[in-house]
Amino acid sequence: MSKKGGGLFSFVVGVAAGAAALFLSNEENRKTTKKVAKKVASKAKTAKAEYKKNPTAFKKKVVTKAKSTAKKVVKKAVAKKAVKKSTKKVAKKK
């Protein structure tokens, strides 16, 4: 016997499907989504070919890029947090 109700997962899937349907109901959004999907597919094919050619070098490249991206994101988040703190201090002084 199966459980009644789908739970949280079913709810999340339903909300995501509804949001996608709403977004894709606009023709301009469908065109944009199609362009982005083509770009991603092209990049995936290129990455697959590069991986097949030399898996070790590809892994190193991906790890290096991930580390540099993570550093940029952390730097940006820290800067944003510093700005928020300084604006709070200025607001308190007034």
Task: Quote the number of domains for the chain.
Answer: 1
pLDDT computed for residue 5 by the predictor: 57
Residue 68 in any domain: the answer is: no
Looking at residue 57, its pLDDT comes to 96
| Sequence-distant (≥ 6) Cβ neighbours of residue 24 within 8 angstroms | 30, 33
Residue 18 domain-assigned (yes or no): yes
| Domain of 31, in residue numbers | 8-53
27 assigned to some structural domain: yes
Does some domain include residue 65?
Answer: no
Average pLDDT of 1-7? 59
Please tell me whether the overall predicted TM-score, pTM, comes out greater than 0.85 for this model.
Answer: no
pLDDT of residue 1: 45
Position 91 in a domain = no
Whether residue 24 is contained in a domain is answered as yes
Alpha helices in 1-94 (DSSP H): 7-24, 27-53, 55-93
Q: Is the pLDDT of residue 86 over 70?
A: no
* Region 24-53 average pLDDT: 94
User: What is the per-residue pLDDT for 10?
Assistant: 86
